Amino acid sequence: MPLLLEMLLIGLAIASITMTISTSYVMDYPRAQVTKLNRGLGELIHCPYCLSHWFAFGIVWWKLGLLPLDRFFLVSFGVVTIASLASLGIARLFSALDEVDSEETD
């Protein structure tokens, strides 16, 4: 699979994972428990952008193996950029859906 396609797919997956962990209702309780145990880690998991770095580093290493260090970081930050743009799109979509839902209930 071409590297750019693989980066795109990894970035989209990371956006979905980090948005689910950091913003979904389902994860409220686990986020609260982590924050009680470790405030720094709790702050990390409340931020999809912050969390995406860690997922990108791990998944790029896992999927693409040991690249030269400079290429590893270039690919990882490229994936973070893709994930960030996808997360922004997801957040805007959810916001628009919430507005439509609140207009229908009024």
pLDDT digit string, tens, across residues 89-98: 988 988 888 7
| Cα gap 62→56, rounded to integer Å | 10
Low-confidence ranges of the chain (pLDDT < 70): 66, 106
**Residue 30: both structure tokens together:** 């686990």
What integer pLDDT is reported at residue 20 of this predicted model? 93
Judge whether 41 lies within some domain: no
Judge whether 7 lies within some domain: yes
Judge whether 34 lies within some domain: no
What integer pLDDT is reported at residue 106 of this predicted model? 65
Judge whether 71 lies within some domain: yes
Judge whether 96 lies within some domain: yes
Q: What's the distance, CA 32 to chain centroid?
A: 18
Judge whether 67 lies within some domain: yes
Q: What total of structural domains would you count in the chain?
A: 1
Residue identified by tokens 């860690």 is 54
Judge whether 65 lies within some domain: yes
